[in-house]
Chain A
């Protein structure tokens, strides 16, 4: 037994890991892996790379603490799978899982970034192949709600599973123990993340300009998700809307008030409370970089504003 040698090797390995993870921004070199507290990052791109790093991948999903009622469990990021050979497919994957704080529930989100849109569709096609997926008789095309989600979407009823493509990203969401529409709400947010992603993972939506008192607000963050404009709720602040956030481990709620009118929205909810009662939303509410994204027109109107849209410009005006 070479105790001294073993000890030295152990200390050296721990030292290199500390260096890699310092500052929270990791840059895992090709052919290496980093592991720490539920995070595993592997970079297989010794020959080829998709040009995405781990931070690019993490921008595709919710943070570990961004889903109320759930605790982040682990994250696996595999960069440049196939990048250790000169030919063949090349993709980067992220898997992130959460468990319910109180209820027996489990969330798992997988995002696979491919080289091209066709490759993401190939994933979908492979999964729909009955020889690959035993459960394919239970797969149904479209989303649970019937609303468009991504470029092509499928779901499994009762299982709260939804999978879809957006550009060159394949996404699969499993929300066991939750409502089907909760899984879909998670998916709507991820489509937003992908469409706003700086590495152009999907065809960019035509930019929407939101005007308050003739001044543009919330630039770059208002986009159309299949015809419905969504934007961070803070976009409304210049229109004399005050925003109050109540964020706990169980709930993420924002109350917006304006001239005696009020609206309450909750993360991943498909409805909002207003001073005039509950209103069903055209798109669910979801978090993005610390705030909630909402269907802009519905929330603005509930706060007493008039919404005029012409082309890619939306003007919010007082009644």
Chain B
């Protein structure tokens, strides 16, 4: 079960999600051993720093019970906290697990959040204690670690859930710890992944948005930008661009501005002024019309990418009139 924010104080032995700075935890345990009493040692460390942050030894405790983690308070910043619990009785056994420390309850589409996303977001945003700080750091790290694929279809599949909406199907295989696992894709993938990263740590209700509606033949020339990966900065043409928005501001881990002001990876830039000026050189056809107006929450699913139909590419009917309320159109 992927974790939502656990507001109880009973530490589970699976990867839970807890709010920064909380304390008052207890740990229920049960050990199969031949002796009734033994010693329990609980060690907690910050996985990002590798530093031990709390330790306690409980002597002569029963093999089943509950101990209070007195004085243990989660860090006040995003991180992943590891636990090692060791029982010494007839023999010595131990178990390890970790919990994620986030700013607040994960939000859609990461409600509940995926452990595979939290592993990345809590590592990348480790140390951040504010929503903007977390979003900015995650955006920068996505650009640092990511690899733009030249604007080719990658992990997106068309699902009409609202006008202009489009699904991104997270491919778990890219997230589950393949070393070191570069996030790869086009702008859709970067934007939707960034939405997942930001919402997984409970920063705010980030959504995805595109520069203009699809299917109208609109396209634009972008200014010189440095896309994620080792390619040198260049300008060019795009049919559209997708980015992450919240409250009129844009975060975009797919590219960095290399000229004008501000330079660097777009983080909390006013969408229609600063971000627009940094990105758009001119429209060949069409106009800047960020769509849908309120953005959209990408649909993420554990299902693998569906293959294409065996007898040729079918234009989805919903391409012609992708409206809300209708059935899902997928291929």
Residues of A within 8 A of B (CB): 1-7, 38, 40, 42, 44, 73-74, 76, 78, 81-82, 88-91, 97, 104-106, 108, 114-116, 118-119, 121-123, 125-127, 129-138, 156, 158-159, 161, 163, 172, 174, 176-177
Q: Closest CB of chain A to B12's CB: distance in Å?
A: 9
The reply to whether B179 and A38 form a contact with Cβ atoms under 8 Å apart is yes
Which residue in chain A gives the minimum CB-CB distance to B315?
A129
Partner of B28, one of A1, A38, A106, A125: A1
Which residue in chain A gives the minimum CB-CB distance to B14?
A6
Mask of B168-195 contacts with A, CB within 8 angstroms, 1/0: 0000011010111110101110000000
Which residue in chain B gives the minimum CB-CB distance to A124?
B313
A82 to B307 Cα, complex, angstroms: 6
The reply to whether B186 and A135 form a contact with Cβ atoms under 8 Å apart is yes
The reply to whether A105 and B230 form a contact with Cβ atoms under 8 Å apart is yes
Residues of B within 8 A of A (CB): 13, 27-33, 85, 87, 93-95, 97, 147, 149-153, 156, 158, 173-174, 176, 178-182, 184, 186-188, 214-215, 217, 219, 229-231, 234, 236-242, 304-313, 319
Which residue in chain B gives the minimum CB-CB distance to A104?
B230
Please name 21 pairs of A and B residues whose Cβ atoms are closer than 8 Å in the assembled complex, sorted by A: A1-B13, A6-B97, A7-B95, A81-B306, A89-B308, A118-B310, A119-B308, A121-B313, A122-B312, A123-B308, A123-B313, A125-B313, A131-B214, A131-B239, A131-B319, A134-B187, A134-B238, A134-B241, A135-B150, A163-B152, A176-B147
**A4 to chain B: which residues have CB within 8 Å?**
31-33, 93
The reply to whether B311 and A119 form a contact with Cβ atoms under 8 Å apart is yes
The reply to whether A138 and B153 form a contact with Cβ atoms under 8 Å apart is no
Tell whether A161 pairs with B95 under 8 Å between CB atoms, given A38-B178, A90-B307, A115-B310.
Answer: no
Tell whether A158 pairs with B234 under 8 Å between CB atoms, given A1-B30, A125-B312, A133-B151.
Answer: yes
The reply to whether B151 and A106 form a contact with Cβ atoms under 8 Å apart is no
Tell whether A138 pairs with B236 under 8 Å between CB atoms, given A1-B85, A172-B152, A176-B229.
Answer: yes
A136 to B152 Cα, complex, angstroms: 7
The reply to whether B307 and A134 form a contact with Cβ atoms under 8 Å apart is no
The reply to whether B179 and A74 form a contact with Cβ atoms under 8 Å apart is yes
A81 to B237 Cα, complex, angstroms: 33
The reply to whether A136 and B151 form a contact with Cβ atoms under 8 Å apart is yes
The reply to whether A137 and B238 form a contact with Cβ atoms under 8 Å apart is yes
Which residue in chain A gives the minimum CB-CB distance to B156?
A132
Which residue in chain B gives the minimum CB-CB distance to A130?
B239
Which residue in chain A gives the minimum CB-CB distance to B254?
A134
A252 to B51 Cα, complex, angstroms: 45
Partner of A116, one of B173, B181, B310: B310
